[in-house]
Amino acid sequence: MNLRRLVQIAPLLLLIAACSKNPLPLTQPEKQTMTELTASLKTRCVGRYLIDMPSDALSTGLATIQGVTFEAIPMARTEFEEQIAARETELLATKSRDGYQFMYDRGEVRGVPNSKYFVTLGNSNADSDLGRVIEAYKWDAGYQVKLEVKATDSIHSEFEKRVKGTPYESKDWKVNDVPEKTNLVLDLIRKVRGRADDEIPAEPGVCFLGGFLPRKAAVGESISVFFAMKDKSDVSFELATDTDVRDKREDTLPGRLRQIRSEIKEANGRIIRTGAAEVEGIDAQEVLISGTSVTKTVGHTFLLEANTATSGALNPFLTVSLYDIQIGALTEGEAIALWDTVSRTLRPRPNGF
């Protein structure tokens, strides 16, 4: 089993003892808790999928598309202008410890108002000038959108000149992907747009927290959003999609159950439920695990997984997770009820691909 799989079941190992009884019907207090948590659900867009979450859930996210990281932060335009001016001043004032050039290029993105890009050494303490960091910013629809990618230039490197004729010289290694990656970032920053949390795009493309990139289905997309319940911070969901993760069929969730059972048995944990999950338009499997955490409270880790062995542009590897393992904010019945309410709303976004 690969490292990613071990990481995915790692939270399960925090569970060290569990009751073996089947979940009982919800008590009146449990029903009240579920009413409070699920009375107001709001549709969220993650990658090319939709899911309904409690409307007051707090969210954070990560997005990488074509090797470029995407980030969007709500921001007024005046604040954006101030921050970009301060960023430019900071970068222009930064000097390389070893005397290398630090700023290589900067300017506005052609055809994009309220935008700026920089190509720099990235790290003032870098031991060489082989690396570059390309970052681009734009303000759109009330959001600062930032794109960033790393690049390499050994052809115009002062470091390469300094080490010529020494054992550190790389005679057969000549690379300069700075122009290519700069063009990529500038092309993406032109297309990307800010997006309110409840905005559901109608065209093909990729949703990430605070933004949207219009484009047809393609590989090179890794998106995740983490949702924490506002009044129960120990309870959280994560929805993640990745077009480039694909495992062997024996490493799908059913194929990993034997190892999962072994791991949680060693920790005295318990599988509440496992098997096929009825999710709209998605062939998914799930496993629900319960146990007493190291803090001596009952906790839960639930996982839904799809497209493990068939991942690609049109059907990315897809996971939904629920975590409640630190202080056990939910009873087992509440955790299952919340899971069944939220996870079954997962569906492909219409025209998303």
Mean pLDDT value across the chain = 91
Judge whether residue 7 has pLDDT over 70.
no
In this prediction, residue 237 has a pLDDT band, given cuts at 50, 70 and 90, of very high
pLDDT tens digit sequence for 268-295: 789 999 999 989 989 999 999 987 777 7
- In a 3-state reduction of DSSP, which class is residue 325? coil
- Using alpha carbons, list the distances in angstroms from residue 12 to 170, 240, 299, 300: 46, 18, 9, 8
Residue type, 142: G
Q: Which residues contact 207 (CB under 8 A, 6 or more apart)?
A: 45, 46, 47, 48, 195, 201, 223, 349
At 292 the pLDDT is 72
At 22 the pLDDT is 53
At 67 the pLDDT is 99
Superfamily of domain 3-66+220-348: Mog1/PsbP, alpha/beta/alpha sandwich (3.40.1000.10)
User: Smallest Cα–Cα separation from 108: which of 86, 85, 90, 124?
Assistant: 85
DSSP output for 149-212: EEEEBSTT-HHHHHTTTSTT--TT---B-HHHHHHHHHHHHHH-EE--TT---SSSEEEETTEE
The domain spans of the chain are: 3-66+220-348, 69-194
* Better-scored residue on pLDDT, 216 or 329: 216
Task: Count other C-beta atoms under 10 Å from residue 119's C-beta.
Answer: 23
At 307 the pLDDT is 97
pLDDT tens digit sequence for 164-173: 999 888 888 8
Of 129-138, 229-238, 290-299, the range with the lowest mean pLDDT is 290-299
Q: Which residues contact 10 (CB under 8 A, 6 or more apart)?
A: none
Of 43-47, 290-294, 344-348, the range with the lowest mean pLDDT is 290-294
Supply the pTM of this predicted model: 0.90
Instruction: State what percent of residues in the chain have pLDDT above 90.
Output: 78
Whether 175 and 152 have beta carbons less than 8 Å apart is answered as: yes
In this prediction, residue 266 has a pLDDT band, given cuts at 50, 70 and 90, of low
- Using alpha carbons, list the distances in angstroms from residue 99 to 121, 128, 165, 176, 325: 11, 10, 21, 21, 50
* Better-scored residue on pLDDT, 169 or 13: 169
Judge whether residue 17 has pLDDT over 70.
no
At 298 the pLDDT is 73
